[in-house]
Amino acid sequence: MNIILLGPPGAGKGTQAVRLAGDLVLPHIATGDLLRKSVLQGAQLGKEAKDYMDKGLLVPDELVAKMLKARMADSDVKSGFILDGYPRNLNQAKTLDVLLKDFNLAIDLVVYLDSSESVIVQRLTGRLVCSGCGANFHIKNMPPKKTGICNHCGGKLFQRTDDKEETVRKRLEVYKQETASLIKYYESKQKLHRLSADEDAQSVLKKIAQLAKEFDDSLKV
């Protein structure tokens, strides 16, 4: 099954994608994670992307498309995937259509996680990320068992540079200008399903799993 999780920054796409990927045994492909990995590795792509990311702007389409194409060619993607953070604008959606066609794949389900601005700002400014395994926590909503330490690998937790309130507001602005148009695009293809993501993570996961099950009732979710 091939799923896209859409939604504003902080709606919980990453949180849900990780859980869903575990339940459905599918790879989680997050362009934000791939870009951050590239920055950490000091790769050319990361060097070109970093400034855009720090400012809360979209990385140029051609850079992200090249990176995604390489990931989509991996063998694990053939059995399905959960895409998080891509596409971000209409051009990327059309690029994705062409890319998937080349791999003989198609999108089955687009889930739009809708969230209010106040919830988004609270979630992102309180998010903590593990420097070891990349797991996400939140100082209040999902605190780690030990302050500053990852529950899963013992790694040190840090705040993403783009999670400062000013950059969060910039990312929201970019989202409204660029990404919101995707809702219409996938609605016109009758792929889009909206749900409120302001509830607790487990309730949101249940609703996404229900949608996946409606699409494929053989799923064990």
- Residues near ligand AP5 (CB under 6 A), total: 35
171 is catalytic: yes
19 is catalytic: no
Asked if residue 138 binds ligand AP5 (CB under 6 A), the reply is yes
DSSP string, 99-136: HHHHTT----EEEEEE--HHHHHHHHHTEEEETTT--E
Q: Which residue is nearest to ligand AP5 (CB)?
A: 32
CB 218, min distance to ligand AP5, A: 27
State the DSSP code for 150: -
Residue 25, sorted as left (phi over 0), alpha (psi -120 to 50) or beta, turns out to be: left
Determine contact, residues 133/113, Cβ cutoff 8 Å: no
Asked if residue 46 binds ligand AP5 (CB under 6 A), the reply is no
**From residue 59, how far is each of 40, 50, 67, 96, 105 by CA, in Å?**
16, 8, 11, 16, 25
Q: Where are the beta strands (DSSP E) in 31-68?
A: none
Q: Which member of 37, 69, 71, 160 is catalytic?
A: 160
Asked if residue 205 binds ligand AP5 (CB under 6 A), the reply is no
Q: Where are the beta strands (DSSP E) in 15-79?
A: 28-30
Considering only residues 65-124, where is the footprint of ligand AP5 by CB under 6 A?
A: 85-86, 88, 92, 123-124
123 is catalytic: no
CB 217, min distance to ligand AP5, A: 26
Spatial strand order in the sheet of 136-138: 136-138, 127-130, 157-158
Q: Which member of 19, 36, 88, 123 is catalytic?
A: 88
Considering only residues 151-170, where is the footprint of ligand AP5 by CB under 6 A?
A: 162
What's the rounded Cα separation, in Å, for the pair 58 and 54?
Answer: 10
Q: Which is nearer to ligand AP5, 173 or 216 (CB)?
A: 173
Q: Which is nearer to ligand AP5, 178 or 217 (CB)?
A: 178
Tell me which of 171, 185, 192, 212 binds ligand AP5, using CB under 6 A.
Answer: 171
Active site residues: 13, 88, 127, 160, 171
